[in-house]
Structure 1
Amino acid sequence: MSDTPSYGFDTLQIHAGARPDPATGARQTPIYQTTAYVFRDADHAAALFNLQEVGYIYSRLTNPTVAVLQERIATLEGGVGAVCCSSGHAAQIMALFPLMGPGCNVVASTRLYGGTVTQFSQTIKRFGWSAKFVDTDDLEAVKAAIDENTRAVFCESIANPGGYVTDIRALADVADAAGIPLIVDNTSATPYLCRPIEQGATLVVHSTTKYLTGNGTVTGGCIVDSGRFDWSANDKFPSLSAPEPAYHGLKFHETFGSLAFTFHGIAIGLRDLGMTMNPQAAHYTLMGIETLSLRMQRHVENAKKVAAWLEADPRVDYVTYAGLPSSPYYDRVQKCYPKGAGALFTFAVKGGYEACVKLVNALEIFSHVANLGDARSLIIHSASTTHRQLSPAQQEAAGAGPNVVRVSIGIEDAADIIADLDQALTKATA
């Protein structure tokens, strides 16, 4: 199909990037379970390796099944290209890889998934990179944190675990003024609820493991390039603007223009980091995306009902769902996330840590897993699991205190979800 703006989201989530298989006419995208691809001749092979021609060489770099997924996600996000990889964490490293160098830093939101906080505060130090964590609602603090070595601003559209929503446009303006890209993790919102590129983001990352796949079967990640950033405007991004020794002095931005970041992600990122998505994972994710809008509508509908019920329950101290009229983020949701605030949030249980543990153990419909975005309702006590590596202060800043549980509301019957929480709260606070 021709991916034109005349097609709506529901059509694109099924058709974008996919065409009947030319060899067999298969309608569903085949799983190309192959390691390598036969070259037409020696000249064809040389052209591919010199980046003079686009095609398939080796499945660490490119694969036809993965290519369809990349085109579909890029289309849904409004980007010019995308690179899929093995996980959401891989996507974050690959997004930073062309931008950073020893001594460089990223300014990151304090409201991030605990694993991301650990990755940014600890692991990236081994590359000589660093992160400065700030409250991204405080734009002056963001501006103050940016220095001559800052290469990006990083946030989540809907933050995990608290479900806080970010003013992407405001952050993008700050990043633009500093001449650096804004990277938005759009995992919790998906492009159905939020398209960060339309609000000024340069790059969008996803853990495709979550809502995009939607069925808890495979892991994956993706980086989407807006194609709008001028990588040659200054000397901050030599990987994209300066000659690349591995390709005989080729300059990615000069050669590939708006697709510079995407080509670098494949030709350098996947080539050398090897964080490849396997074709079977791409296939499962493609099937999941076909029903993304339908699932997200139900996720949001259920989350509103469950959050409102929890807020009114005397056994609950507070609920962080941004879709509630009582939330300080409610007006921002109406403006920036008009289709809803997602289905991820936390609530505090009266009785603290011990009550949270009892609640998790007493639930029947909810699954106690370290995941989100599944069709099933999921719960976890973040302070003792996903955010365990953080200090108490970091846990509180991320919205993952000891008296808090995180829920990812599924697409079951809302009345059944509420009934399960009711009986578990009774046991937890008895």
Structure 2
Amino acid sequence: MSDSPTYGFDTLQIHAGARPDPATGARQTPIYQSTAYVFRDADHAAALFNLQEVGYIYSRLTNPTVAVLQERLATLEGGVGAVCCSSGHAAQIMALFPLMGPGKNVVASTRLYGGTVTQFSQTIKRFGWSAKFVDFDDLDALREAIDDDTRAVFCESVANPGGYVTDIRAVADVADAAGLPLIVDNTSATPYLCQPISQGATLVVHSTTKYLTGNGTVTGGCIVDSGKFDWSASDKFPSLSAPEPAYHGLKFHETFGNLAFTFHGIAIGLRDLGMTMNPQAAHYTLMGIETLSLRMQRHVENAVKVATWLENDPRVDYVTYAGLPSSPYAERAQRCYPKGTGGLFTVAIKGGYDACVKLVDSLEIFSHVANLGDTRSLIIHSASTTHRQLTPEQQEAAGAGPNVVRVSIGIEDADDLIRDLDQALAKACD
């Protein structure tokens, strides 16, 4: 099918990138469980390796099943191309890889998943990179944090764990003025609730493990390229604008234009980092995306109902859900995320750390797991798990203090979820 803008989201989430298998007529995208692909002849092989022709060489680089997922995600996010990889964390490294270099930094929001804070504050130091963490509500502080060595700005659309919503357009304006790409992690919102590229983002990353797959079966990640950034406007991004020695001096931006980042992600990123998505994971994710809009509508509906009940319960200190009228981000949520702010938020329990642990251990429907975005409702005490490696100050900044639990509201009956929380709170706060 032609990815015409006349097609709606519900149609594209099923059809974009997918065509009947030419060999068998199979309507569902097959799992191409193959390591390598036969070349037509020696000239064909040479053309593929020289990036003169697009095709399949080796599944570390390209795979037909993964290619369908890449095209679908690029279409849903409004990008020109995408690169899928093995996890959301892999996607973050691959997004930064062409942009950074020794001594360079990324300016990142303080409101990020704990694993991302650790990756940015600790792990990337081994590459000679660094990160500066800033409250993105303070745009002046963001501007001041950017210096001559900054190569990217990074945030989450709907932040994990607290469900904080970012004003992407405002942040994008700051990044644009500095001549920098804005990378937005859109995992928690998904392209159904938010399309960061339409609000000024350069790159969008996903942990496809979460809402996109939606069933807790496989891990995966993706980088979607807007195709809108001028990588040759300055000398800050030589990986994309300068001659590439591994390809006889080819310049990615000059050669591939608005697909420069996408081609680099495959030809250099996947080739050398090897963070490959396997075709079975791509297949499961494609099947999940077919029902994305239906699931996200139910996630939002349930989250509003459960969060409202929790906010009015005397055993609860506060609820961080931006979809509540009482939220300090309610106006921003309605303006920037009109379809809702997802199913993720935190709850502060009276009784602190011990009450949180009891609550988690007393629930019956909610699953205690280190995941989010499942059809099932999930809960975790972030301070003792996903954010355990952070300092107390970092935990508080990320919205993961010791008295807080993170909930990911699923698509079950909301009244059943409320009853489960009610009985668990009774045990936790007795």
TM-score, normalised to structure 2's length?
1.00
How far does the alpha carbon of each residue in 1:63-99 deviate from its partner, in whole angstroms, 9 at most, with x for none?
0000000000000000000000000000000000000
Partner SS, residue 98 of structure 2: coil
List gaps (5 residues or longer) in structure 1: none
Q: How far is the alpha carbon of 1:34 from its aligned partner?
A: 0.3
Q: How far is the alpha carbon of 1:251 from its aligned partner?
A: 0.1
Q: How far is the alpha carbon of 1:121 from its aligned partner?
A: 0.1
**For residues 245 and 152 of structure 2, what CA distance do their matches in structure 1 show?**
24
**For residues 26 and 138 of structure 1, what CA distance do their matches in structure 2 show?**
52
**For residues 286 and 318 of structure 2, what CA distance do their matches in structure 1 show?**
37
Give the alignment of 1:304-319 within 5 angstroms: 304-319=304-319
**For residues 70 and 5 of structure 1, what CA distance do their matches in structure 2 show?**
18
Runs of 4+ in structure 1 off by over 4 angstroms are none
Q: How far is the alpha carbon of 1:196 from its aligned partner?
A: 0.1
How far does the alpha carbon of each residue in 1:189-210 deviate from its partner, in whole angstroms, 9 at most, with x for none?
0000000000000000000000
Across the two proteins, how many residue pairs are aligned to each other?
430
Partner of 2:85: 85
**For residues 27 and 340 of structure 1, what CA distance do their matches in structure 2 show?**
33
**For residues 117 and 362 of structure 1, what CA distance do their matches in structure 2 show?**
30
Q: How far is the alpha carbon of 1:284 from its aligned partner?
A: 0.1
**For residues 396 and 389 of structure 2, what CA distance do their matches in structure 1 show?**
13
**For residues 213 and 46 of structure 1, what CA distance do their matches in structure 2 show?**
36
Matched, 1:368 2:368: yes
**For residues 325 and 241 of structure 1, what CA distance do their matches in structure 2 show?**
47
Partner SS, residue 90 of structure 1: helix
Matched, 1:179 2:179: yes
**For residues 106 and 4 of structure 1, what CA distance do their matches in structure 2 show?**
35
Partner SS, residue 132 of structure 1: strand
Q: How far is the alpha carbon of 1:408 from its aligned partner?
A: 0.1
Q: How far is the alpha carbon of 1:241 from its aligned partner?
A: 0.1
How far does the alpha carbon of each residue in 1:248-291 deviate from its partner, in whole angstroms, 9 at most, with x for none?
00000000000000000000000000000000000000000000
Partner of 2:150: 150
How far does the alpha carbon of each residue in 1:351-385 deviate from its partner, in whole angstroms, 9 at most, with x for none?
00000000000000000000000000000000000
How far does the alpha carbon of each residue in 1:168-222 deviate from its partner, in whole angstroms, 9 at most, with x for none?
0000000000000000000000000000000000000000000000000000000
Q: How far is the alpha carbon of 1:404 from its aligned partner?
A: 0.1
Q: How far is the alpha carbon of 1:114 from its aligned partner?
A: 0.2
Partner SS, residue 177 of structure 2: helix
Q: How far is the alpha carbon of 1:15 from its aligned partner?
A: 0.1
How far does the alpha carbon of each residue in 1:290-326 deviate from its partner, in whole angstroms, 9 at most, with x for none?
0000000000000000000000000000000000000
The RMSD of aligned alpha carbons is 0.2
**For residues 376 and 111 of structure 2, what CA distance do their matches in structure 1 show?**
24
**For residues 55 and 365 of structure 1, what CA distance do their matches in structure 2 show?**
46
How far does the alpha carbon of each residue in 1:380-415 deviate from its partner, in whole angstroms, 9 at most, with x for none?
000000000000000000000000000000000000
Partner SS, residue 375 of structure 1: coil
List gaps (5 residues or longer) in structure 2: none
Matched, 1:335 2:335: yes
Partner of 1:256: 256
Partner SS, residue 155 of structure 1: strand
Q: How far is the alpha carbon of 1:122 from its aligned partner?
A: 0.1
Partner SS, residue 132 of structure 2: strand
**For residues 172 and 294 of structure 2, what CA distance do their matches in structure 1 show?**
30
**For residues 4 and 119 of structure 2, what CA distance do their matches in structure 1 show?**
38
**For residues 400 and 187 of structure 1, what CA distance do their matches in structure 2 show?**
18
**For residues 344 and 71 of structure 1, what CA distance do their matches in structure 2 show?**
27
Partner SS, residue 131 of structure 1: strand
Partner of 1:403: 403
TM-score, normalised to structure 1's length?
1.00
Q: How far is the alpha carbon of 1:149 from its aligned partner?
A: 0.3
